[in-house]
Amino acid sequence: MGGDAVFTGTVMDVRRVAGVISVDDYRAQVTELLGRRPAVSVPVQDCAGLVLAEDVTASVSLPPFDNSAMDGYAVRSDEVAGASEDAPVQLRVGEDIPAGRVDVPPLPPGTAHRIMTGAPMPDGADAVVMVERTDGGRDTVRVYAESASGTHVRRAGEDVARGTVALTAGTVCGPAQLGLASAVGRDTLAVHTPPRVLVVSTGTELVLPPEPLEHGQIYESNSIMLAAALRSLGCTVTTVRSVADDVDSFRAAIEPALPDVDLVVTSGGVSAGAYEVVKDTLTGAGVTFTKVAMQPGGPQGHGTWDGVPVVTLPGNPVSVLVSFEAFLRPAILSSLGHDDVDRTRVRARLLETLSSPSGKRQFRRGFYSRTDGDVTGVVGPRGGPGSHLLAAFTQANCLIVLGEDVTEAAQGSEVDVLLF
């Protein structure tokens, strides 16, 4: 079937459903809420993974001076012209020039300076003969090979010219970028630093391991997942792992921490029943609660609490992780200055037929694999659509995305897959 396959299903414009917002619009709102993190000066060694908030101009050229690419002898190329095993050229050995020598004397005619890799070329020398092409002499040296002008010489500025922009704002600082920043003399860089996040799990039923459970109680797991996901983006995370469904307890758990965090992420207490502690506390107090046209992860809220951005996620564990993928991850990456905030998206052929609610974008946990000779790959679901089915998530390496207009995606049809 491959690319010829079509989805069956009815088309529905989610924007026409009262009170429901599309995934893309909601993602844009959360991204706007988080904004752009301020630029902060950070030691270079702590910048891995962060995005530059400035152009880095080279204060020195790279290399900063002409230097030797080999251990050997700095020579005048015309003096070793024609040298060979049978007709070696003999030169007097002048100075030793190890790397780091700063008082390099010029090269007199008829002389070779012993020079090491990275050491500055002496004035008068225009080539290096590798030690292997000589007898390695200390007072005089026999040179067995000619060396054209420029041979084994690394020219000043051939990598980076002083005064030019070595790295542009918006660059993601990986090992090579941080190496270059150091090489051009920087010890700090202006970068967008990740937010400090307070993660709060609400629910009177929540118990922390290893306390024994009573019937009706469950072990708390959302804060562990969220903290891990947030830390993978570099965030500093503190957690409040279990707040009872009671407005006073919720306030008491969060308000004292607000001055020290940049973002609050809650889970639970946002749907339609009684005891919706997050909704009860924050409705009309800076947070808007919405239904997003997606499954799982429908009930959502976002806004500010005493000026601090708050994102309130639904309580079901799979909804938490899918919401992180759909909203928090792109919004945080954007706040950190990343242009590319999306997971790698590929097309894959479905290994079994899936159904999806009309008018909602469905995210199914899946396992994607490349197939030989296939530019896309194949994907099969892991577990059903239920947002309580966390175990299946641990078997997944991707999310299968079924669009709002899809009610059934047939086995063999192509679907979008977001790779973790």
Ligand X SMILES: Nc1nc2c(c(=O)[nH]1)N[C@H]1C(S)=C(S)[C@@H](COP(=O)(O)OP(=O)(O)OC[C@H]3O[C@@H](n4cnc5c(N)ncnc54)[C@H](O)[C@@H]3O)O[C@H]1N2
What is the nearest approach in angstroms of ligand MOO to the Cβ of residue 27? 15
Select from 50-58, 160-168, 189-197, 292-300 the region that touches ligand X (CB under 6 A): 292-300
Which two tokens mark 341? 């905030």
What is the nearest approach in angstroms of ligand MOO to the Cβ of residue 250? 20
Q: How many residues form the binding site for ligand MOO (CB under 6 A)?
A: 8
Among 77, 316, 356, 362, binds ligand X (CB under 6 A): 316
- 82 exposure class (CB count in 10 Å sphere: 0-12, 13-18, 19+): exposed
Q: How many residues form the binding site for ligand X (CB under 6 A)?
A: 26
267 binds, among ligand MOO, ligand X, none (CB under 5 to 8 A by kind): ligand X
* Of 360, 379, 355, 357, residue with least CA distance to 368: 379
Among 220, 262, 404, 414, binds ligand X (CB under 6 A): 220
Select from 86-94, 133-141, 229-237, 293-301 the region that touches ligand MOO (CB under 6 A): 293-301
Sign of CA dihedral 101, 107, 108, 111: positive
Which two tokens mark 81? 């012209």
298 binds ligand X (CB under 6 A): yes
203 binds, among ligand X, ligand MOO, none (CB under 5 to 8 A by kind): ligand X
Select from 43-51, 242-250, 255-263, 292-300 the region that touches ligand MOO (CB under 6 A): 292-300
Give the footprint of ligand X on residues 247-276 (CB under 6 A): 267-273, 276
CB closer to ligand MOO, 226 vs 346: 226
The one-letter amino acid at 175: P
Quote the longest CA-to-CA distance of the chain: 98
Contacts of 153 (CB under 8 A, 6+ apart): 66, 67, 68, 69, 121, 126, 127, 128
CB closer to ligand X, 94 vs 314: 314
Backbone angles phi, psi at 259, to 5 degrees: -60, -20
Among 54, 205, 246, 416, binds ligand X (CB under 6 A): 205
218 binds ligand X (CB under 6 A): yes
366 binds, among ligand MOO, ligand X, none (CB under 5 to 8 A by kind): none
Among 151, 295, 335, 362, binds ligand MOO (CB under 6 A): 295
Among 63, 195, 299, 337, binds ligand X (CB under 6 A): 299
What is the nearest approach in angstroms of ligand X to the Cβ of residue 1? 32
71 to 74, 103, 120, 310, 316: CA distances (angstroms): 9, 18, 12, 60, 64
What is the nearest approach in angstroms of ligand MOO to the Cβ of residue 294? 7
CB closer to ligand X, 63 vs 315: 315
CB-nearest residue to ligand X: 315
Give the footprint of ligand MOO on residues 314-343 (CB under 6 A): 314, 316, 319
CB closer to ligand X, 171 vs 239: 239
* Of 244, 242, 229, 245, residue with least CA distance to 197: 229
Which two tokens mark 162? 């002083």
Give the footprint of ligand MOO on residues 359-418 (CB under 6 A): 387
CB closer to ligand MOO, 72 vs 298: 298
Which two tokens mark 372? 């030989």
268 binds ligand MOO (CB under 6 A): no
* Of 403, 289, 319, residue with least CA distance to 6: 403
298 binds ligand MOO (CB under 6 A): yes
Chain-centroid distance, C-alpha 169: 16
What is the nearest approach in angstroms of ligand MOO to the Cβ of residue 316? 4
Select from 168-176, 214-222, 228-236, 333-341 the region that touches ligand X (CB under 6 A): 214-222
Residues interacting with ligand X, by CB under 6 A? Answer: 201, 203, 205-206, 218, 220-223, 267-273, 276, 296, 298-299, 314-317, 319, 387
Residues interacting with ligand MOO, by CB under 6 A? Answer: 295-298, 314, 316, 319, 387
